[in-house]
Homo-oligomer: A and B are copies of this chain.
Amino acid sequence: MEIQYILEIIGTVVFAMSGALAASERDQEQDWFGAAFIGFVTAIGGGSLRDIMLGSYPLVWIQDVTLLYIIIGAVVLSGVFYKWLLKLRRTFLLFDTMGISIFTIVGMEKALSLGASPEIAAIMGMFSAVMGGVIRDILTNEVPVLFRQEVYASACLVGAAFYLGLDYLEVERNTNFISSVLLIACIRLIAVKYNLSLPKFNRQQRQP
């Protein structure tokens, strides 16, 4: 439990940083408030949407104010070190990948504990992981990350299915948690490194 809480906080921190740095990655100026607002929404958006869809109240960040201060701390760190962090994009990709990996399994376990069926729980895990980033992209008028990076949410779904499989085989829960998180991270990193993509749904002639 202790370890899981630490992992959740790591996930929250990297999502808050990813939101705060979103404008900088697109070479746009931003003030501190805007960075904090986007960081906050990115960090809490996915989990909030999951809990609202499941009717699970109170929302996590409303119950546990500590998360708010952790997010503010992450945004401040992002502002102080943003040049350095932007240069570390490769490492940041690792952090962001850890974020979606952890949030997928945490979100799925929460949905299961609330009585959701396995299929719905897997979708809820994926939503927890990716919807914060989707909301960030909508607020900043970007094409959502889902449609730019092809192996992203799909890696979350694969990891969620893997967890459900091991759970069915009665694998011990902490082992299962860590294996599934690592699987999602590996799929994502391998897909990015080797530029893998999913099969095309359609093949259009595009104007050159």
Residue on B nearest A151 in the bound complex, by CB? B33
Q: Is A160 an interface residue (CB 8 A)?
A: no
Q: Is A175 an interface residue (CB 8 A)?
A: no
Residue in B closest to A57 when the chains form the complex, CB atoms: B55
Most chain B CB neighbours (cut-off 10 Å) among A37, A57, A59, A143: A37
The answer to whether B31 and A150 touch across the interface, beta carbons within 8 angstroms, is yes
Which residues 98-119 of A have a CB within 8 angstroms of B?
Answer: 116-117, 119
In the assembled complex, the Cα of A33 lies from the Cα of B204 at a distance in Å of: 17
For this chain, the copies found in one complex come to 3
Q: Is the CB of B55 within 8 A of A117?
A: no
A147 interface neighbour in B20, B27, B34, B119, Cβ under 8 Å: B34
- Measured CA separation A72–B201 after assembly (Å): 13
Instruction: Bin the interface of chain A by size.
Output: 35 or more
Q: Is A171 an interface residue (CB 8 A)?
A: no
Shortest distance from the beta carbon of A58 to any chain B beta carbon, whole Å: 7
> Could you say which of A1-9, A10-18, A133-141, A181-189 contacts chain B?
A133-141
CB distance from A197 to the nearest CB of B (A): 6
23 interchain pairs, CB-CB under 8 A: A20-B201, A23-B201, A24-B201, A29-B203, A29-B206, A30-B147, A30-B200, A30-B202, A32-B198, A32-B200, A32-B201, A33-B198, A52-B52, A53-B62, A55-B58, A55-B59, A61-B120, A62-B116, A68-B119, A68-B123, A138-B139, A139-B147, A141-B141
Closest 8 CB pairs of A and B: A55-B57, A31-B198, A35-B201, A33-B154, A24-B202, A30-B201, A32-B201, A27-B204
